[in-house]
């Protein structure tokens, strides 16, 4: 049943700073956002991304100019309730800070409390937070907040599994994120214990196969980048993709003959799948040994939960996986006013 409450407005300071873990290029946030005590880990930095704008876009998408006609028809305008966040499966919770932003955007007087923080483990049936205040506004914010949380928690849960299995290598995501949700997806990776690859096309040079083909070879491509960065007086990380041991040798030869801005070598598809489901990492290991610590190394391709531990034992610095964000399974989370009934139904369907 709904519990009637008296809720006081909360004043929220507009303070928001972020930090990047990998790139050296300095950028600043275009728009300030909101910081909360529940923000255990801040989102990565982006010079133009408007997190508040993304929230408002999601809310406007739901409202469609008309607003919540169901709530307006069924919920008394002054009714106040308490609703509880309920985990319906085990995993890593993420998006708590972002959910708070959603509720504040809809109604600054809503009061949100949490028993967990971003990055904590939750189990099926756990009530890990609650929101108090005007019922209509809670219901309006509910789906948008949950959509963010469920996607972020799914990403964080898979990232945690992959990060643990990859050790001592570090797990990275890629740019294979949902359009418009780049920062949100990459934030979830951080919460899950991963590291961020480049945020976009602007903050790191990544010379990939198509660049190499157009430039006429890997040496030409790296040389062109060195000249460009020198001409523009830019300092940022530079990575080049290699697909064969010959290309690795070529990059190392170039680097031994000239001063280069190169910082990392990607070893792409050097993990070879075997018919029995295992993988052969001998080529990857040979490449890592050739590089011998002169540059950071990154393994890419054929990375799964089943293969990542073996890849991580080769001595590679990083392992990147697009699956962290492009194939995410959302973690099942709900927000319920009648929690007792929700748990009863959940147990009946084995979801609580």
- Residues identified as active-site: 143, 176, 208, 239, 268
CA trace torsion 151, 153, 157, 160 (10° rounding): 110
| Residues 88, 92, 93: CA angle, nearest 5 degrees | 75
d(CA 194, CA 152): 13
DSSP letter for each residue of 143-207 = HHHHHHHHHHHHHHHHHHHHHHHHTTSEEE--S---TT-HHHHHHHHHHTT-B---SSSSSSEEE
Q: Find where tokens 């009637």 sit.
A: 4
Of 288, 219, 211, 284, give the one whose Cα is nearest residue 247.
Answer: 219
Which residues neighbour 323 within 8 Å (Cβ) at sequence distance 6 or greater? 158, 303, 304
**Cβ atoms within 10 A of the Cβ of 216, count?**
10
First-to-final CA distance of the chain: 19
d(CA 83, CA 204): 43
Running DSSP on this structure, what letter comes out for residue 118? T
Residue pair 134/183 in contact by the 8 Å Cβ criterion? no
DSSP letter for each residue of 260-302 = ----EEEEET-SEE-TTS-EE-HHHHHHHHHHTTSSEEEEESS
């Amino acid at each position: 049943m709904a519990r009637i409450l008296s809720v006081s407005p909360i004043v929220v300071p507009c303070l928001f700073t972020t930090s990047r873990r990998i790139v050296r290029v300095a950028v600043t946030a275009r728009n300030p956002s909101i910081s909360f005590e529940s923000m255990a880990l801040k989102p990565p930095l982006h010079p133009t991304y408007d997190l508040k704008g993304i929230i408002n876009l999601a809310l406007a998408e739901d409202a469609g100019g008309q607003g919540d006609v169901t709530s307006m028809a069924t919920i008394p305008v002054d009714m106040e309730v308490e609703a509880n966040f309920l985990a319906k499966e085990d995993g890593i919770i993420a998006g708590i800070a972002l959910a708070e932003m959603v509720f504040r955007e809809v109604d600054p007087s809503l009061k949100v409390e949490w028993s967990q923080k971003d990055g904590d483990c939750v189990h099926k049936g756990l009530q890990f937070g609650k929101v108090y205040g005007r019922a209509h506004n809670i219901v309006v914010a509910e789906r948008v907040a949950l959509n963010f949380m469920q996607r972020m928690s799914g990403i964080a849960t898979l990232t945690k599994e992959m990060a643990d299995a990859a050790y001592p290598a570090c797990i990275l995501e890629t740019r294979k994120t949902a359009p418009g949700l780049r920062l949100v997806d990459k934030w979830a990776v951080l919460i899950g214990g991963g590291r961020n690859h480049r945020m976009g096309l602007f903050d790191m040079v990544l010379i990939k196969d198509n660049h190499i083909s157009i430039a006429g070879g890997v040496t030409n491509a790296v040389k062109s980048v060195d000249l460009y960065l020198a001409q523009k007086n830019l300092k940022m990380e530079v990575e080049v993709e290699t697909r064969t041991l010959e290309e690795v040798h070529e990059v190392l030869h170039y680097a031994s003959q000239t001063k280069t801005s190169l910082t990392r070598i990607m070893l792409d598809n050097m993990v070879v799948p075997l018919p029995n489901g295992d993988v052969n990492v001998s080529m990857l290991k040979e490449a890592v040994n050739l590089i011998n610590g002169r540059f950071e190394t990154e393994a890419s391709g054929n990375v799964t939960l089943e293969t990542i531990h073996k890849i991580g034992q080769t001595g590679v610095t990083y392992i990147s996986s697009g699956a962290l964000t492009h194939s995410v399974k959302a973690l099942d989370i709900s927000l319920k006013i009648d929690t007792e009934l929700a748990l009863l139904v959940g147990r009946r369907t084995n979801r609580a």
